[in-house]
Amino acid sequence: MKYFLDTEFVEDGETIMPISLALVREDGRELYLEFEFDEDKAVAHDFVRENVLPHLRGQEQYTRDEAARRISMFMGLGPRHPAESKPNIEVWAYFADYDWVLFCQVFGTMRDLPKGCPRYCMDLMQWWTQLGYPRGVKPPKPVKAHDALADADWNHEFYKNLSNYVEYDASLDESETEQWLTDFRTLDELDPARAKRLVEDWKSRLQGHGVEPPERDYEDFAAYALAVRNALADFLGKSGL
């Protein structure tokens, strides 16, 4: 089971003080918590005061122990799970490092993480980087950015987009791309989604080589596609039209 995590906190270079935490499960179930925290310290932090505090629900604030209990229940962690029935959990976050330290410290020290809890967090940013920052995959920022639940939902969306991208990428036959580079036909032969995907592929290949692709011409997709294709063919020294 995958869990999408986001947290809000005050961080001063030495400690991470939790404010809120959200987990969204891949089946859509959600957990949202607010912590007991030092309000003076939070208000004194410009970013937190302006971007985080306005989203708080003003609901019951939990101690770390109570938060840990609720997280364990939500994720099905703890001694009830003997080693042989490992719950097979993945936790995903975006720029995950601070979120993950906060998450772990809710339970105490590194050795206090409950049974069944993974010892590391997957990072959406790392996945996106390794794919070469494909465009159109990252969802628009949530309206309530820096609300932990809105951000955790966004992480789930981003994960789904990345998965779809990888699936579609795998379905793109490499020889098809090569053929299009040397023998450009009309885009009408492709379904529109595939044509767009192919052009995105050419663009990211150009950008991967540090070459800016031609400006997008919204009036005429076919002409734009041809320009991108020619730029890549030129760059790769393939025969152009």
Whether residue 207 contacts residue 132, with contact meaning beta carbons closer than 8 Å, is answered with yes
Pick the piece of the chain touching Mg ion (CB under 5 A) from 3-11, 38-46, 112-120, 173-181.
3-11
Pick the piece of the chain touching Mg ion (CB under 5 A) from 87-95, 130-138, 147-155, 209-217.
147-155
Does position 6 bind Mg ion by CB under 5 A? Answer: yes
Element (H, E) at 150: helix 148-171
Please, what is the minimum distance in Å from the beta carbon of residue 151 to Mg ion?
4
List 34, 151, 153, 200, residue binding Mg ion (CB under 5 A): 151
CA–CA distance, 218 with 13 (Å, rounded to integer): 46
- Other Cβ atoms less than 10 A from the Cβ of 212: the count is 9
Q: Which is nearer to Mg ion, 6 or 153 (CB)?
A: 6
Q: Of 67, 34, 30, give the one whose Cα is nearest residue 53.
A: 34
Whether residue 121 contacts residue 91, with contact meaning beta carbons closer than 8 Å, is answered with yes
Does position 34 bind Mg ion by CB under 5 A? Answer: no
Place of tokens 């009830």: 80
Pick the piece of the chain touching Mg ion (CB under 5 A) from 104-112, 124-132, 141-149, 184-192.
141-149
Interface residues toward Mg ion, by CB under 5 A? 6, 146, 151
